[in-house]
Amino acid sequence: MAAGKRKTGDTSGKRGPKAKRTTPVLNEALAEAAWLEADAALAQALTAFELLSQADTGRERSEAMALLDQALIRAVRRRGLTRFGATGGREPYDPARHDLAEPGERPPRTVCIVGQGVMRGCEILAPARVRKAP
């Protein structure tokens, strides 16, 4: 028998092919869970960034904000994240896609987008911030 190979049924105590597959599967699951958390945090940072970008600030801050925006856009593209909801736009209210700023007794039919949401594929990571349309 060649060195490093074992016959089926060998009970020498060495790990078999099944044991070798278990560790990578667990590692992949843990890595995916960590990325899911990172995605959610990045989505929240992206929506918070929009609030900062709307502030009336000086030239240096404006330039720094533009650089930060570009960096965030690159990061979210690499992770497959996209923004949704055009700021200032109107659309039918969907509680799965929208975070209503001032909820009332009845949900509104139409809302105005105050801040964009973030999603990956069909999964909403940060809902769009909205208010009741006038």
Q: What is the pTM of this model?
A: 0.56
**Domain total in the chain:** 1
103 confidence band (pLDDT: 50, 70, 90):
confident
Asked whether residue 63 is assigned to any structural domain, the reply reads yes
Instruction: Give the domain extent around 111.
Output: 18-132
58-70 residue pLDDT tens? 766 776 677 677 7
Asked whether residue 3 is assigned to any structural domain, the reply reads no
Asked whether residue 77 is assigned to any structural domain, the reply reads yes
Q: Which residue has the higher pLDDT, 82 or 3?
A: 82
Distance of CA 90 to the CA centre of its chain: 23
